[in-house]
Structure 1
Amino acid sequence: MTMMIYSKILHIDLETFSSVDLAKCGLYKYAESDDFRILLFGYAYDDGPVKVIDVTKEDIPIPLRMDIADPKVLKVAHNANFERVCLSQYLCSKGHYLPPDQWEDTMIMASEQGYPASLAQLGPALGLGEDETKLDTGRRLIQYFCKPCKPTKANGGRTINRPKDAPDKWELFIEYNRRDVIAERAIWDKLNRMTPIKPSEWVYWYIDQRINDRGIQIDMDMVSAIESYGTHHSDDLMARAKLLTGLENPRSIVQLKGWLEEKEGHKIDTLRKSAIDDMLESDDIQPETREMLELRKELGKTSVKKYDAFTRSVCLDGRVHGCFQFYGGRTGRWAGRLIQPQNFPKPKFDDLDTARSLVKDGNWDVLEMLYPSMNDVFSTLIRTAIIPKPGCSFAVADYSAIEARVIAWLTRETWRMKVFEKGGDIYCASASQMFGVPVVKHGVNGELRQKGKIAELALGYGGGVPAMKNFKADKLGMSEKEMQETVDRWRRSSPHIHKYWYTLGHAFEGAIQGETVTLDRNMMCFRHGNQVYIRLPSGRNIAYVNPRIKDGHIEFDGLNQAHKWTTITTWGGKLTENVVQAIARDCLAETFYRCDRAGIPIVMHVHDEIICEVPAEQKEEIYKKILDIMATPIEWAPGLMLKGDGFTSSYYKKD
């Protein structure tokens, strides 16, 4: 993975207009809109002066265009995918994109150093001065110039605000654009003075950008049919609910509770899903109550609305582009965007071919006879709306139990490694280790396998009884006492994992104090400046900003689940989870690289699964090649037993 040596650096920031909603529809659809245009082009070479070209008055000069296309000129931007795709629309022929391997992205650099991705949050978090941070007037100016406006008498009925409509605001917008370039360059300089990002990370980002450029083909005929039918289906359900109850709005919790209380003769505390399920399990409710509760469940589902994301974001080529965010979390894993394939619901049935064929043929009456819930049909079929382009098939491969394999390898929990080496079932093996009896799936002591599965999922990172409950151990009839006994058994049967939580926690605390602590598997914890890093076996680092020990607990600055920059508390078990997931991510990234080198086009990935669009006549050959790639030992992880499994298909589905 050799890196280019560049002749100069070109820092870029764009301000643009499009009538397409960027947040809802995605960048690629935004940029292909007929009314898309670049308004301002802010730029600076190296440490030179920042200049802004008013593209509403003049084109981007030829020398700048040549540098944008020159592979020896490094282009730098914050969220560089935006500038790259927008400039591709401006400079390239339709459907072609500027190559990502001539770009660097300060947003990715910030994320890899543990900082927020948002430019507005990033400057202050890095401690940059006011003259090097983003102007806070930007949101109002972007709203005014970059989005359509509502026609009014006061604005003469116009739908677009142009520079001549507010010259003072336009001058401020030019200054805003200039300051963004200043801020982004200051951020790039400061981030480059921190611990360097591993060069291979840029290579993985280039592959990620090509995956987003490639996009995902959507079966829009099926999507449109489901959306159209779903509207009528919902209207029919509402009409039946109104007729049954006499209520003006059966969706109203207050109205429906009153009707149910009158019908059943007792108080109804809540209409949460679990409460409705409990009522439906009872034999002692009125038939009308049962029907209305079933209608309530069906009306409450959002299965058809999930298809809206396809319709909103699909581009003119029939594909959705830009579905994946590189380094979407602390561990470096990818995050989903737009159609969010990571969040698709679990299938409710297996016979996808029949249901899919009936939908495409418009046989709704037959569907309603075969399936009790049409929303279950829609939620089950949502994956199948993703299809390969004509002449191609999908080759889908998923890493098998990768986190369990990684934690066994990382901690040298030998019995676990032997299970994977022999192709065994880790849930059965774990239950056998805990309970001291043989456990065989669907065989002797098979009832213990589910307890082993819950323990494996809940306890690997220091979880206890609450974690067991999160994985529904109480639904198995386990009491809190039994759960605690299971926790104790699991920790005794996996002593190396249990010990590792504290080993890693102590190493991290040592690094906070300035020590460099070496760990097994070519890992270390060390401090550099304001950060503590955990060096992974791959050589990549996980970064923690401003870590400290307060009241016996490890704290650092980071983004919480509400994306607010705040104080985060952690400990050795959570750090172990970070490390295991980061190693699993690095394994997946290595698979991306190997597939890319082999000319196998990845169009999508979900958790630890890759979906490749391959020529139909070669699908089995390429599928086997992908499995070989996934099972090939990784140089930095000697002894880590990896295995992929999957299928080929004419549409995407869950195996």
Structure 2
Amino acid sequence: MKTFVISDLSQIEPRLTAFVAGDTAFLDLIGQGMSPYEAHARQTMGWTGGKLKDEDPELYLLAKVRVLQLGYGSGWFKFAETVKQYGQQQILDLDFSRKDEIRFQNFANTYQPGKGSMYPTLETFDRRQWVNAFIQVSDFRDKNPKITSLWKSLDSELKSAAGDGEDFTFQIASGRTLKYFRCRHEPDGVTCATQKGSVRRVKMYGANLFQNTVQALARDCFGHILTNLDDAGFKVVLHVHDEVVVEVDEADAEDSKQKIQEIMSTAPEWMSDVPLDSEAIISKEYLK
């Protein structure tokens, strides 16, 4: 009889975000068994207690949204909308100073005048959401200079290539090369073609290139794991994003599950300093 072992990589993108940024302190905390969200809260949000998810689930959620979204350059409005989608807007219902409110209004009036003119008409609760989202984004960027400096570096290199109408190419840690074609300056930023010969152009900028780097490395890491599973004799019948479905003998399912998790948690040599983790279940059918 056959059954499935379903296993996925745990928080691969936050781990690789730290790897690309060279945040070894963050990786050290994860290596101690801490979740990336608690590690972030301890590093940048003042958390000094015990297990964050148990002791302060709202701060844990706020840290999670910060980690998953702000490393890729998300702005304050998108951040507020994401929190709203979680149905947990209370995590942004916080007190703030008049100085912070003025700082937000000045920013919105300068860079997002539509939002700036709308702000005074909002209900008090919504104004608190907007200002606190702005505070969270500003705080994340201030306290993660390794990430923001990479945004700026990539952005500068991209703009230089666009000035000459050139392709922009750079190599990532796995050895793969990312390439953006026929870059050029437009009124609202730099655009490129992401496929050779394509007429479709997309806006590109430093934080977006950083996101592409992290997600490309996640794909390369996962591809390495798929190869290792195959080399170990496992039959992968399906893979979705960072998850594998492996067909195994039911009698050996527990042993296979353990071996699969070991393979899933072993990083490629080019990112050997990144502590990987995985979760796995045994099931007769595919489950999410």
Normalising by the residue count of structure 2, what TM-score does the alignment of the two structures yield? 0.78
Correspondence for 1:534: 170
Please give the per-residue CA displacement for 1:531-577, whole angstroms capped at 9, x wherever unaligned. 32221211112221211233472211247xxxx84221110001111
Write the distance in 2 (CA, Å) between the matches of 1:636 and 1:511.
28
Name the SS for the 2:141 alignment partner.
helix
Matched, 1:575 2:209: yes
Name the SS for the 1:633 alignment partner.
coil
Which one has a larger percent helix, Structure 1 or Structure 2? 2
- Report the alpha carbon displacement of residue 638 of structure 1 after superposing the two structures with TM: 3.3
Correspondence for 1:469: 80
Correspondence for 2:99: none
Please give the per-residue CA displacement for 1:28-77, whole angstroms capped at 9, x wherever unaligned. xxxxxxxxxxxxxxxxxxxxxxxxxxxxxxxxxxxxxxxxxxxxxxxxxx
Q: What does 1:285-304 correspond to in 2, within 5 Å?
A: none
Name the SS for the 2:270 alignment partner.
coil
- Report the alpha carbon displacement of residue 476 of structure 1 after superposing the two structures with TM: 1.5
Among 498, 501, 508, the residue aligned to 2:151: 501
Q: What does 1:5-404 correspond to in 2, within 5 Å?
A: 391-404=1-14
Q: Which one-letter code corresponds to 1:476 in the other structure?
A: Q
Answer whether contact 2:161 2:167 (CA < 8 A) is retained.
no
Name the SS for the 2:183 alignment partner.
strand
Write the distance in 2 (CA, Å) between the matches of 1:507 and 1:637.
24
Please give the per-residue CA displacement for 1:354-411, whole angstroms capped at 9, x wherever unaligned. xxxxxxxxxxxxxxxxxxxxxxxxxxxxxxxxxxxxx111111111100000010110
Q: Which one-letter code corresponds to 2:261 in the other structure?
A: L
Q: Which one-letter code corresponds to 1:423 in the other structure?
A: G
Please give the per-residue CA displacement for 1:449-503, whole angstroms capped at 9, x wherever unaligned. 1111111122111112122123124842321111111112222222211211111
Correspondence for 1:653: 287
Q: Unaligned stretches of 5+ in structure 2?
A: 93-128
Correspondence for 2:262: 628
Name the SS for the 1:545 alignment partner.
strand
Answer whether contact 1:459 1:467 (CA < 8 A) is retained.
no
Matched, 1:428 2:57: no
Answer whether contact 1:438 1:445 (CA < 8 A) is retained.
no
Write the distance in 1 (CA, Å) between the matches of 2:89 and 2:188.
36
Answer whether contact 2:30 2:39 (CA < 8 A) is retained.
no
Name the SS for the 1:506 alignment partner.
helix
Name the SS for the 2:271 alignment partner.
coil
Matched, 1:456 2:58: no
Answer whether contact 1:438 1:444 (CA < 8 A) is retained.
no
Q: Unaligned stretches of 5+ in structure 1?
A: 1-390, 515-526
Name the SS for the 2:4 alignment partner.
strand
Write the distance in 2 (CA, Å) between the matches of 1:531 and 1:489.
34
Normalising by the residue count of structure 1, what TM-score does the alignment of the two structures yield? 0.36
Q: Higher relative contact order by CA 8 Å / sep ≥ 6: 1 or 2?
A: 2
Q: Which one-letter code corresponds to 1:427 in the other structure?
A: Y
Among 150, 166, 179, the residue aligned to 1:543: 179
Write the distance in 1 (CA, Å) between the matches of 2:158 and 2:276.
28
Write the distance in 2 (CA, Å) between the matches of 1:503 and 1:575.
10
Among 405, 420, 423, the residue aligned to 2:15: 405
Please give the per-residue CA displacement for 1:227-280, whole angstroms capped at 9, x wherever unaligned. xxxxxxxxxxxxxxxxxxxxxxxxxxxxxxxxxxxxxxxxxxxxxxxxxxxxxx
Answer whether contact 2:234 2:246 (CA < 8 A) is retained.
yes
Q: Which one-letter code corresponds to 1:403 in the other structure?
A: E
Name the SS for the 1:472 alignment partner.
helix
Answer whether contact 2:10 2:277 (CA < 8 A) is retained.
yes
Please give the per-residue CA displacement for 1:171-194, whole angstroms capped at 9, x wherever unaligned. xxxxxxxxxxxxxxxxxxxxxxxx
Write the distance in 2 (CA, Å) between the matches of 1:547 and 1:653.
42
Answer whether contact 1:428 1:448 (CA < 8 A) is retained.
no
Q: How many residues are matched?
A: 246
Could you say if the C-alpha distance between residues 570 and 403 of structure 1 is closer, same or farther in structure 2, counting changes exceeding 3 Å? same
Cα RMSD over matched residues? 2.3
Matched, 1:588 2:198: no
Write the distance in 1 (CA, Å) between the matches of 2:41 and 2:159.
34
Matched, 1:483 2:117: no
Name the SS for the 2:207 alignment partner.
helix
